[in-house]
A and B are shown apart, each in its own frame.
Chain A
Amino acid sequence: MTQKEPLMTFDDAAAMGLSRDEWDLILKRLDRTPNQCELGIFSAMWSEHCSYKSSKKWLKTLPVDGPQVIEGPGENAGAVDIGDGLAAIFKIESHNHPSFIEPYQGAATGVGGILRDVFTMGARPVALLNALRFGEASHEKTRHLLSGVVAGIGGYGNCIGIPTVGGEVNFDKSYNGNILVNAMAVGLANSDRIFRSAATGPGNPVIYVGAKTGRDGIHGATMASAEFSDETESKRPTVQVGDPFTGKLLMEACLELMASDSVLSIQDMGAAGLTSSSVEMASKGGLGMEIDLDLVPARENGMTAYELMLSESQERMLMVLKPDATDAARAIFDKWDLDFMPIGQVTETGRLVLLKDGGTACDIPLAPLVDDAPEYDRPQNPIPQRPRLTSGDVGSDRPVTHVLKSMLGHVDLASRRWVYEQYDSDVMADTIAGPGGDAAVVRVHGSQRGLAITTDCTPRYVEADPETGGAQAVAEAYRNICAIGARPLAITNNLNFGNPEKPDIMAQLAQSVVGMGKAAKHLDTPVISGNVSLYNETDGIAIRPCPVIGMVGVIDDVTMAVGSQFIAADQEIFILGQDDSQNDGWLGASLYAAHHGITAVHAPPPIDLVAEEQAGKLLIELIAAGIITAAHDISDGGLAVTIAEMTLHSSFGAHITPPAAGHLHGWAFGEEQARYVVTTGDGVALCEAAQNAGVAISKIGIVTAKTELQFGDNDTISIEALKNLSEGCLPALMAG
């Protein structure tokens, strides 16, 4: 080959994040020394971000099949059958490191990237969610990061016109130096019109479309595969810059093109840009690809082969078209004023060949890039046994409403309105339930059917017991979907952990995936897509483990969906999933414990998957039968917080009767799983149905016309007071 690219050494490889073993393997596979462009391609493809080398062994254990699954992990996004010939296509992805360095652009491009993953499959995106974790509220960077990330999410989603309908925002000091920004997108497509990425047909044209390539985001995938340090500020130039306007044009152009019969395969240029898209398309098709880099539309002059291949400039796609479709396709991209450039062709060689300046800048076999990507079985330390916290160790004498006031006014539980009002949650006019409830509900356009969508994780539990915490994230998502009356279908996961080369962290990762897999299998919600974000550490301190679950369910008639707010006085309030004998509760690893100075790590509430399934299925039936008028799953803060949340935006109050004996705070704030608070106008039918289904049920009170929340005879607080605390918290923090 013509050698214009500089030849590399092991030092160069190490600077790109490769180990000695990995360098040696590259030399062996090539049987020569790689040049800069080639080594860059290896380093990107073998980065943790692209190769999943630390997590693959465990990801393989997750359930990925089911009659509802149309497309499992491996494509740009997963696809699940929702009936009527339609598929819901969705995925969640992290943009943690870029968002910490440059919050607005990091978060915005996270949204843009996940949207491209979804519309690349031929789906029109219909909903966005975000799972966000920030440092403690008092930390000097938190306000800057929160306002920047929220503005960035809104900046992209609002402009491109996809509603942001839900998600979560939490605060914990373990994220002080490493925030988490996970974005999920959901789209809809006809089941028989889903596009995939495997290249087909040697000789077919490879087309570059979208924005031009610049020097931004070079080696972003590798940056996402290393720990942070004080030098991170210097990595600002590796953060990509988003352009939602071009994203909108690209989305419309691609969907218009995909409605014709022109596209054979298509891949988003996301992490590792032109490298991962070309390598994945060619290798999935069992073929090769030849690209003339001089034809790549570039934003700047004089970009090297290495820079062109490793740039993570946004809003770009690579596609293989039918040979006779090029002119019609070009007309569509001309209409949308986007670049459309044939840059190469599919070959039979099994090699990636890149031409530049009249020479060959790269000629490497594809197989090692994908098949020989390292897979590690990294050592794990045993998970410590956690003691059980007994309620007796915690005081129970303060009135419940006093505790409620401090908890609902705390940043952990306060209203997220300051955040979600910055997101356009209504555009597309199909949002039936936006942010603030259990699951968001988005109507399938032109029908009565609806998608229910949620994201969930409780890092406290995962830290204390990764397997239980991994299962709990699935169970809580399941409950959120059931609570509006929808059938859970499938999940996408975003595994956020520290450095997997540390055996404690590796144990968190592996064991939480084990728990997640057990729950997903039992609850019949296979994992159809996902993302792994490791090395979430700064100066050696890891984040609390946060394996986020994004779940999608379907409800046949959105008019039957219930909300979490009380709707009528004199209706009875029940706990579904708990019987009358319960007079205490599980406070270990609870939010109550965290708010009461308990810093030791205790065992989290156990997960009973059989109970979760029984309670969830019963609730779906009861909602479909019109027996339930409001439902809210019990999670952070336990029963009392759940009930309070059900009053906050209703015009009603509640009179709750606590058990006569037992531990009042355990009962009110314990976090036992598989429970919901529900209201009904027909308590007899509800109790009979619960008894028949073998699900525990307990009446605990009644909805009142008085806008007060009352526990027993002598403990009362006005809803207005609680609401002011809840609504006032974030605005005060952000104004402060």
Chain B
Amino acid sequence: MTLSSLVSLRVAITVFPGSNCDRDMMVAVERLTNRRPALVWHKEANLEPVDLVIVPGGFSFGDYLRCGALAARSPIMSAVMDHAARGGAVLGVCNGFQVLTETGMLPGVLIRNSGLRFSCRMVRLETAETMPSPFTAGLTAGQSLDIPVAHNEGNYFADEDTLYRLQDNGQIAFRYVAGSAEGPANPNGAARDIAGILSNNGRVMGMMPHPERAISPLHGSSDGATLLSKSLEALMS
């Protein structure tokens, strides 16, 4: 489902020691845009102008100290924060979501799964009614997406005031709902079944599920491609 109109879209993917979904995300984006995203090493202090920065999944710095804590303090993340401060779009997936909360670009924190075990499985997401955001603009509220998760610390936690604010502002992007896979709908005990949230300007999104792992029927779902391509289209317009 390559969208040739997206070939001029500039995407950068950050790479930390321990990132392990950087290639998968690069492959997914290249497949959708026909253009290979730039991989940017963590020691880079500058970011070329881009339309979207993706902070990929993995175990940056081995998850030592706290998931995402060390990556959040790397030179490249200062540049990403500058990019976001200028209104630039940022997507954090899994460990990337953890990094974004550690930088303060997104509220709340991802704590240990309530089952105290790593969880790798397909989950179903429901798109929420959100504030204007490139990441949900092409989806309809209530639209469901089957996308796998794979994490040990995906249990979204924030204080009650923050959770209400996220709700009232339309910053909750995706919630876990019952799907066809075995097991509970919410794989990690996340507050309000939150799978993904937006920043208060809608330009930064963090999500635990891995859209780059659901881009072909061979993956058991192409809904990740839908999510990514709709986001990329919205960023083009």
A interface residues with partner B (beta carbon < 8 Å): 151, 154, 158-161, 243-246, 248-249, 336-337, 417, 420-429, 432, 443, 558-559, 727
Contacts and interface: CB of A to CB of B under 8 A. Distances in A.
Interface stretch (B55-63, B103-111, B129-137, B171-179): B55-63
A254 B182 CA distance: 39
B62 A243 contact: yes
A422 B215 contact: no
Interface string B23-34: 110011000000
Nearest to B17: A249
B27 to A, nearest CB: 7
Contacts of B182: 417, 727
Contact of A337 (B17, B28, B64): B17
Nearest to A431: B219
A67 B200 CA distance: 62
Contacts of B57: 427
Contacts of A248: 17-18, 20, 59, 62
A421 B17 contact: no
B22 to A, nearest CB: 9
B62 A161 contact: no
Interface string B1-44: 00000000000000001101101100110000000000000000
Contacts of B150: 158, 424-427
Contacts of A160: 20
Contact of A423 (B58, B64, B118, B213): B118
B192 interface: no
A245 B20 contact: no
B213 A426 contact: yes
A154 B63 CA distance: 14
B158 to A, nearest CB: 26
A161 B21 contact: yes
B120 A558 contact: no
11 contacts: A158-B150, A158-B152, A159-B18, A161-B20, A245-B18, A245-B59, A245-B61, A337-B17, A422-B119, A425-B150, A427-B24
B197 to A, nearest CB: 23
Nearest to A247: B62
Contacts of B61: 245
A413 B185 CA distance: 26
B120 A428 contact: no
Interface in B202-218: 210, 212-213, 215, 218
Given A245-B62, A249-B18, 13 more contacts: A158-B59, A158-B152, A159-B18, A159-B59, A161-B20, A161-B59, A244-B62, A423-B118, A426-B120, A426-B150, A428-B23, A429-B27, A429-B213
Given A159-B59, A159-B62, A245-B59, A422 B18 contact: no
B117 interface: yes
A159 to B, nearest CB: 4
A559 B20 contact: no
B148 interface: yes
Nearest to B41: A335
A429 B215 contact: yes
Contact of A154 (B18, B118, B219): B118
A422 B63 contact: no
Given A245-B17, A248-B17, A424-B118, A432 B58 contact: no
Nearest to A426: B213
B219 A421 contact: no
Contacts of B24: 427-429
B29 to A, nearest CB: 12
A615 B117 CA distance: 41
Nearest to B28: A429
A727 B150 CA distance: 20
Contacts of A420: 120
Q: A-B pairs with the 5 shortest C-beta distances?
A: A161-B20, A245-B62, A429-B24, A159-B59, A424-B150
Contacts of A422: 117-120
Given A248-B20, A559-B218, A429 B212 contact: yes
A510 B61 CA distance: 47
B121 interface: yes
Nearest to B63: A159
Contacts of A421: 117-121, 183
Nearest to B150: A424
Contacts of A424: 118, 120, 150
Interface in B158-190: 182-183
A597 B63 CA distance: 49
B62 A426 contact: no
B59 to A, nearest CB: 4
Nearest to B219: A429
A151 B148 CA distance: 20
B122 to A, nearest CB: 9
Contacts of A336: 17
Contacts of B183: 417, 421
A579 B27 CA distance: 48
Contacts of A423: 118, 120
A119 to B, nearest CB: 14
Contacts of B18: 159, 245, 248-249
B149 to A, nearest CB: 9
A151 B119 CA distance: 11
A427 B21 contact: yes
B148 A426 contact: yes
A244 B17 CA distance: 11
Contacts of B62: 159, 243-246, 248
